[in-house]
Amino acid sequence: MLNILLALGCRYLNKSSTSRVSSTEKTEKWYFKKATSLLTINLMDQLSLQLVQILLLMAQYLQTFSLSNRGWVLVGMALRAAQGLALHTDVAGESQLEREERRRTWYYAVLLDRCVLC
Q: How many residues does the chain have?
A: 118
What pLDDT sits at residue 48?
92
String of b and e for 18-40 (b: at least 16 CB within 10 Å)?
A: eeeeeebeeebeebbeebeeebe
Position 21 scores a pLDDT of 60
Give burial (CB, 10 Å; 0-12/13-18/19+) of 61. buried
Query: pLDDT value at position 81?
Result: 93
pLDDT in tens, 93-104: 999 999 999 999
pLDDT 10s digits, 23-82:
778 888 888 888 888 887 666 678 899 999 999 999 988 887 766 788 888 999 999 999
- Which pLDDT score, from 0 to 100, does residue 56 have? 95
What pLDDT does residue 15 have? 52
Q: Is 85 helix (H, G, I), strand (E, B) or coil?
A: coil
DSSP state at residue 13: S
- Torsion, Cα 11 20 37 76, to 10 degrees, reads 10
